Structure 1
Amino acid sequence: MPVGRLTRGARASVSGLPRAFWWLWTSTLVNRLGAFVATFMTLYLTIDRGYSASFAGLVLALHGLGGVLSSLVAGVMTDRLGRRPTLLAAQLSTAFSVALLGFMEHPAAIAAVALLVGMTSNASRPAVTAMMADIVRPEDRVRAFALNYWAINLGFGVSATAAGLVAEYSYLAGFLGEATLTLLCAVLVFVKLPESRPVRDTAAGAEAEPAVGLGTVLRDGRFMGVVGLSFLISLIFTQGSVGLPVAMGAAGFSAGDYGLVIASNGLLIVLLQIPVTRFIEHRDPQRLLVVSALLAGYGFAMTAFAGSLWTYALTVCVWTLAEIVNSPTQMGLVARLSPVHGRGRYQGMYTLSWAVASLLAPLMAGYVIDRLGPGWLWGATGVLGTVAGLGYWLLMRRLPAQGSEVLAAPAAGAAPAAAQVPDAAAA
């Protein structure tokens, strides 16, 4: 492909987005450059500390439980207090708790602080995605979410390789490095990001902008269906940081080997996320989500046949393509179905699906690997991918055409209301 065409494509991918988005993007990149705990906790516990896969699964499950506990609370805080204060509180507390975890020695203390880390690190997600929906125009959101996901994986690709090498010498250095970079994210948010929460139009009357509570979210049938399917997809993808390192460790591979294999996930997303997003940006989300669910399930299922580093990397490439398609498409769908003044709560409920998966996936992986073997785990991912694909196909029939913003949440099982208004907070 000519260099000029690549340059024009790159410019088109990043043009037209507000400055605040790019500071939020930078904060995301810095945060993921320090990603250590979620990636290497399993190897830290099983290889460095000598605990069983079941104990490692329990600790990661507590980490996931922390995310479950904080998801909805953080969503409410995002709507009530604002995006910026929620982000600051989450990042400062995450920096403290991650540093503390590195010094824990007793198993009970490790488990307790892992719960705290899960609570604090997950609390920033509803605020980040709600702020992104606030400041980016509806027609640009899939692209914006894709660029943000690209930043996540650019940081992840670098950190997975570097942290894998660091882990060979000192896991404590990895914990302290993540804490430092998370603290830097808090500084960026404080200095560069203004509050973006939409101002409620009281002059229009209560009927024009009805209040949105957690009950409103739960009664939104289509949205809760998306949350359920997101849970299944999350259960599959979480095995990349839970089941895969345990299986590779049991097969005799080192932390550095796993770091190199999983780094291919981030590298491939860095190379393909932007061009693939330009290709799928205006295509049917139903088909995209169905295909990505099947690719995710069967990509992980292929791990049962891997025996060398390159074959493990090949399976990672398959389910990475599913990530590239699924993540921006699904996040765009969530923003599309969320009322303007309920974005925090809707994003909190969506985040909850990932948090519950983070809670259950380690338990599932540890139990299945210890008692049945890794082959059964990878077979289960194929089944989950098939179920999720079918669910997306059924749920997204007659999906309303993309408009601007939904003011009121729909009734249970109904499509979003037709009455919409432009995003008053868009930059």
Structure 2
Amino acid sequence: MKKLFTSYLDTFKGLSKEIWWLALITLVNRAGAMVIPFLSLYLRDDLGFSLSSVGWVMTCFGFGSLFGSWLGGILSDKLGYYKTILLSLIATGIGFLGLQFITSFWAVCLGFFALITVADMSRPAFFVALSAYSKPENKTRSLTLIRLAINLGFSAGPALGGIIIASIGYYGLFLADGITCILAGFLLIQTLNPKKAKEVDQEQLVENPLAPHKDGLYVIFLIALALFGVVFVQYFSTVPVYYKEVRLLTESQIGLLLGMNGLMIFVFEMPLIAYMERRGWNLIGNVIGGLLLTGLSFLFFYIEGWPGVLVLGMATATLGEMVAFPFGNAFALRRAKLGRQGAYMGLYSMSFSLAHIFGHNSGMQLVNSLGYNLTWAIMGLITLLALALLFYVKRRANTLKI
């Protein structure tokens, strides 16, 4: 057991102290991210919105994410990643504190659009900061550490969120989210101020940077990731509603099931990524494997009678996520060396914003019109389309040796 624990710790060696601070800031921020997993339930149960209305609110959420990712990419190149992240954290904290007082449909739509805009400005900036603080050979593991922090926070967040809802109501989630975002901002000031932090990446960018939208292979890769995102975001919109309405789970049980996702990632992802890196497997090939697993996880929803299938389904989806996201991020960072990193990583973040725009709403509308079983089947078809695009990217990348 001691040898196993030592081997686990060894997978974290060689990462810069700035990456560890960045991970801690992410953990503090994401530990308070309790509203998002329960957003569809909050809108439906507390505000009394219909499934269709919930879908449109989630679409505004997605448009805010899209605009924020684009804006964050520009600000990262203009102002630098530090100022962009700090502005995002403080503004998001204030936004969460104020959003709890908005209850009408159009005001909620506008409020979530504005909130997610400022929140997701930090996404490309975090990627640029991670690249600056990581040596080239450590970037995939650095990405994995940040993901561990995100998912450890998300594992605690939904579990605590379920307790808060049961104890004092949904408004407590907004209060917790607001305070933790502001705390994360103050932690950033104390640890990653440019006067204190040291960039370690000595790689040089090309003299004539390529605009990301002109990088055809990168664009196809991002379209595939956007389709992957449409499938994946169902676990944060239609799936929680399915858990409650079809499988009759309570908010606390739903929180624990969602929290299982983050806990699995915290325990298993870094050793898994370190193992796969040692094997030298193709980056896009790993993303293909992860997407396949996530798509297959929806098959468990067709099995009735035994509640344990929900755990198996979440475990399968989580394994796919553990494989796909770190190597997808690594491929995007590698391509970003062709141009301005903020713009490249902004476009990367925008691919998932598109998934929020179309994924949540389309999922809700499909469930409302066709029911859950047909919705899961359609998610399977979207998975196949994304896989086809990724196979093309893999073949072209191998041909061009990039």
What's the secondary structure of 2:395's corresponding residue?
coil
1:239 aligns with 2:239: no
Counterpart position of 2:265: 269
Letter of the aligned partner of 2:234 in structure 1? Answer: Q
Counterpart position of 1:138: 136
Stretch of structure 1 that moved more, 28-37 or 300-309: 300-309
Q: Deviations over 1:63-87 (max 9, x none)?
A: 1110111211110110111000000
Q: Offset at 1:135?
A: 1.4
Counterpart position of 1:421: none
Counterpart position of 1:183: 182
Alignment of 1:63-142 (within 5 A): 63-142=61-140
Tell me if structure 2 keeps the 8 A contact 1:222–1:415: no
Q: Offset at 1:5?
A: 3.7
Distance 2:107 2:33 in 1: 21
Structure 1 gaps, min length 5: 402-413, 417-427
Match of 1:288 among 286, 289, 309: 286
Counterpart position of 1:406: none
Q: Supply the RMSD in Å over aligned alpha carbons.
A: 2.2
Distance 1:18 1:377 in 2: 44
Q: Offset at 1:190?
A: 1.4
Q: Offset at 1:390?
A: 2.3
Distance 1:20 1:34 in 2: 22
Tell me if structure 2 keeps the 8 A contact 1:261–1:313: yes
Stretch of structure 1 that moved more, 260-269 or 236-245: 260-269
Counterpart position of 1:278: 274
Counterpart position of 1:419: none
TM-score by length of 2: 0.93
Tell me if structure 2 keeps the 8 A contact 1:261–1:309: no
Match of 2:220 among 196, 220, 225: 225
Distance 2:75 2:307 in 1: 44
Q: Offset at 1:97?
A: 1.1
Q: Offset at 1:208?
A: 6.0
Alignment of 1:264-343 (within 5 A): 264-281=260-277, 282-306=280-304, 309-339=307-337, 342-343=340-341
Stretch of structure 1 that moved more, 298-307 or 113-122: 298-307
Distance 1:376 1:280 in 2: 35
Match of 2:381 among 368, 383, 396: 383
Distance 1:36 1:190 in 2: 24
Tell me if structure 2 keeps the 8 A contact 1:83–1:128: yes
Letter of the aligned partner of 1:270 in structure 2? Answer: F
What's the secondary structure of 2:346's corresponding residue?
helix
* Identity %, equivalent residues: 25
Q: Deviations over 1:8-60 (max 9, x none)?
A: x2332211111111110101111110012211110111122222111111111
Structure 1 or 2: larger helix share? 2
Alignment of 1:192-211 (within 5 A): 192-195=191-194, 209-211=207-209
